[in-house]
């Protein structure tokens, strides 16, 4: 008995000898990142107007004044989380972001524990390392957005559920139910996971009867509902209607499922029919319009769903409320070559999922990711929403790496070959946007021409910026764009040059040289961390059939980011 205890103690020391240095590295990376962002990020102390970050910040301050945003439009948990920080430390955004980074380090630890319970210690170490160097964790922990909290709570609920598998107690199950309830108050789509938890319990829980498993599930659901109930009650007291958590469900469903939807957060102007029905029946009109769209245009709906499926699995981070390349520019540490992203982790995750299909200990992670994907594809896809699924993606990636290492050591080449046969289509799925971006200019060398009513929209397909999202330049620097016109511009009454851009605080002016014939001028204002649209009216006489050049130059002290149009592909 003493020998067994001594062995356990040695294993414990060996385990934490690896874990603690990695967690310290995670903390150091975050402290450096936060310090660099404080110096360079113009929105660090003042969230940009029109962003969710400003909304959460304002709501948290109002809560301290006794003003609750009921009925809640967003999941309310993050606003209350921020309000507690402001109550203790004052309105200090540095402290708020620092606390978020601390919870991010704990998330890394939880992912290690999840992987360890599902696949063993070696996979736990690999998963912890991946978590430490996963760039989007650090970026989102530094933003005043709910995603880091959803990720932390999803890690916690998975870990707590896995604990009940080996050693059940109603206390542990209650803690898991509280974690699910809190996660639902952040993003209510986690509630889709509940029926999948029942499947997991029926297959994996160590009880003799199915009735006892159902009893456990009912207890879990009761705890979840009790956790949510204070918010439901506050909603009812505010408007005398039953609203479980938030009111944005119908409109979010419609944004992701209408004739003009592109699979991301694109809010088109509602039709006259929808506007009229909304006046008659309220937000139910959005659900009614989605049902009409599915019934009347099933082929369009199927194509849209496929597009969202590809967006979900694609490496491209669909931005919303921020520009990821701009953020990385503010904190150079995140550009270090050892940081990795979705494009590296998820092909390995797909391989790990395929290799572990018969592993009953990994069943909960399989079911979580399946429900998570359904929850996102049913609405719309944003890169920031996908972060909350990484607590399950990363252990699968860690398992696939350990599997390949183990088989290579044993010189078992057949399983390795089989693995690469799975890995290749996984890479193609995840990197489909990069592949289509490369092929598109070859297939459409003259640009993309789209006829919309009486308008002809032409988008360029240049690869000058080699797949980046923007070219960034300042005073004294220029960039050149070329556009090929296949017909005479004189046949059109009006021509407009449209572009998306971002700038920092100092004022400036954009000078656009058109074919060396004339120059257009656009005054630039601080875009507050957002990507904004601008346009310049052009005389048809300035353009000609064939190749046209536009040279962009900055006058003034502003730093200008000119994004290129990728709307002909995903996102």
Who's near 394: CB < 8 A, 6+ residues apart?
A: 111, 115, 127, 130, 131, 134, 345, 349
Q: Identify whether the C-beta of residue 200 lies closer than 8 Å to the C-beta of residue 367.
A: yes
Q: Report the SS3 class of residue 422.
A: helix
**Helices and strands counted in the chain (H then E):** 21, 10
Kind and range of the H or E run holding 546: strand 546-556
Structural tokens at position 310: 């590809």
Q: Identify whether the C-beta of residue 241 lies closer than 8 Å to the C-beta of residue 71.
A: yes
* Residue owning tokens 């160590």: 206
Looking at residue 63, its pLDDT comes to 97
DSSP state of 445: T
Looking at residue 469, its pLDDT comes to 55
Q: Give DSSP secondary structure letters for 84-114.
A: HHHHHH-S-HHHHHHHHHHHHHHHHHHHHHH
**pTM of the predicted protein model:** 0.84
Q: Give DSSP secondary structure letters for 6-74.
A: HHHHHHHHHHHHHHHHHHHHHHHHHHHHHHHHHHH-TTSSSPPTTSHHHHHHHHHHHHHTT---PSPSS
Structural tokens at position 315: 């490496």
Looking at residue 453, its pLDDT comes to 67
For 112, 359, 360, the CA distances from 117, given in Å and listed in that order, are: 9, 12, 11
Rounded Cα distance between 130 and 338, Å, is 10
Rounded Cα distance between 565 and 353, Å, is 35
Q: Would you give per-residue pLDDT tens digits along the chain (571 residues)?
A: 444 454 555 555 678 899 999 999 999 999 999 999 999 888 899 887 778 999 999 999 999 999 999 999 999 999 999 999 999 999 999 999 999 999 999 999 999 999 999 999 999 999 999 999 999 999 999 999 999 999 999 999 999 999 998 888 899 999 999 999 999 999 999 999 999 999 999 988 666 677 788 999 999 999 999 999 999 999 999 999 999 999 999 999 999 999 988 888 878 888 889 999 999 999 999 999 999 999 999 999 999 999 999 999 999 888 777 778 778 878 889 989 999 999 999 999 999 999 999 999 999 999 999 999 999 999 999 999 999 999 999 999 999 999 999 999 999 999 999 999 999 999 999 998 888 777 766 776 666 666 666 777 776 544 333 334 566 777 777 888 777 787 788 888 888 888 777 777 677 888 899 999 888 888 887 776 666 778 888 888 888 888 888 888 888 877 777 765 544 332 2
Rounded Cα distance between 125 and 112, Å, is 6
Who's near 70: CB < 8 A, 6+ residues apart?
A: 234, 235, 237, 238, 239
Rounded Cα distance between 301 and 437, Å, is 24
Q: Identify whether the C-beta of residue 220 lies closer than 8 Å to the C-beta of residue 177.
A: yes
Q: Give DSSP secondary structure letters for 325-365.
A: HHHHHH-GGGGSTT-B-HHHHHHHHHHHHHHTTT-GGGHHH
State the sign of the Cα–Cα–Cα–Cα dihedral 274, 279, 280, 281. Answer: positive
First to last CA, the chain: 60
Rounded Cα distance between 545 and 94, Å, is 54
Structural tokens at position 149: 């909290």
Q: Identify whether the C-beta of residue 31 lies closer than 8 Å to the C-beta of residue 97.
A: no
Rounded Cα distance between 536 and 509, Å, is 13
Looking at residue 266, its pLDDT comes to 78
Looking at residue 11, its pLDDT comes to 58
State CA 149 to chain mean position distance.
Answer: 13
Looking at residue 550, its pLDDT comes to 87
Backbone phi, then psi, for 13, in 5-degree steps? -60, -45
């Amino acid at each position: 008995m003493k020998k067994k205890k001594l062995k356990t103690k040695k294993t414990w020391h060996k385990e934490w000898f690896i874990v603690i240095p990695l967690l310290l590295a995670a903390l150091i990376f975050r402290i450096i990142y936060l310090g660099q962002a404080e110096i360079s990020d113009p929105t660090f102390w003042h969230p940009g107007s029109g962003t969710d970050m400003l909304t959460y910040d304002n709501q948290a301050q109002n809560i301290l004044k006794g003003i609750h945003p009921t009925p809640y439009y967003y999941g309310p948990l993050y606003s209350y989380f921020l309000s507690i920080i402001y109550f203790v430390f004052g309105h200090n955004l540095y402290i708020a972001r620092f606390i978020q980074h601390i919870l991010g380090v704990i998330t890394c630890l939880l992912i290690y524990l999840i992987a360890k319970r599902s696949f063993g210690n070696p996979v736990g170490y690999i998963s912890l390392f991946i978590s430490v160097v996963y760039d989007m964790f650090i970026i989102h922990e530094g933003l005043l957005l709910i995603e880091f909290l959803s990720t932390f709570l999803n890690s916690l609920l998975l870990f707590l559920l896995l604990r009940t598998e080996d050693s059940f107690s109603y206390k542990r199950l209650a803690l898991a139910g509280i974690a699910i309830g809190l996660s639902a108050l952040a993003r209510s789509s986690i509630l889709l996971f509940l029926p999948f938890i029942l499947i997991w319990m029926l297959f994996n829980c160590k009880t003799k009867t199915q009735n006892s498993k159902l009893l456990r599930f009912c207890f879990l659901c009761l705890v979840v509902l009790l956790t949510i109930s204070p918010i439901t009650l506050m909603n009812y007291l505010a408007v005398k209607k039953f609203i479980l958590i938030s009111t944005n469900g119908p409109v979010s469903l419609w944004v992701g499922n209408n004739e003009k939807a592109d699979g991301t957060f694109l809010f088109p102007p509602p039709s006259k029919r929808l506007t009229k029905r909304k006046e008659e029946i309220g937000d139910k009109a959005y659900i009614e319009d989605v049902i009409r769209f599915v019934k009347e245009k099933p082929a369009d709906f199927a194509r849209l769903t496929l597009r969202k499926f590809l967006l979900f699995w694609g490496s491209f981070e669909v931005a919303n409320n921020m520009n990821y390349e701009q953020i990385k520019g503010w904190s150079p540490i995140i550009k270090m070559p050892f940081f990795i992203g979705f494009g590296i982790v998820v092909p390995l995750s797909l391989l790990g999922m395929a290799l572990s299909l018969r592993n009953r200990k990994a069943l909960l992670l399989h079911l979580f990711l399946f429900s998570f994907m359904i929850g996102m594809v049913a609405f719309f896809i944003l890169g920031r929403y996908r972060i909350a699924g990484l607590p399950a993606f990363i252990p699968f990636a860690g398992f696939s790496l350990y599997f390949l290492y183990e088989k290579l050591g044993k010189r078992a080449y057949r399983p390795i070959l089989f693995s690469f046969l799975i890995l290749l289509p996984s890479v193609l799925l995840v990197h489909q946007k990069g592949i289509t971006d490369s092929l598109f200019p070859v297939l459409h060398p003259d640009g993309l021409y789209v006829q919309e009513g009486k308008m002809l929209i032409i988008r360029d397909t240049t690869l000058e910026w080699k797949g980046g999202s923007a070219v960034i330049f300042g005073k004294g620097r220029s960039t050149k764009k070329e556009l090929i016109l296949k017909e005479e511009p004189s046949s059109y009454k009006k021509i407009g040059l449209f572009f998306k851009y971002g700038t920092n605080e100092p004022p400036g002016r954009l000078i656009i040289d058109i074919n060396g014939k004339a120059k257009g001028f656009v005054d630039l204002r601080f875009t507050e961390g957002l990507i904004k649209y601008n346009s310049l009216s052009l005389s048809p006489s300035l353009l000609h059939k064939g190749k046209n050049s536009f040279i962009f130059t900055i006058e003034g002290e502003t730093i200008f980011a000119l994004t290129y149009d990728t709307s002909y592909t995903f996102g």
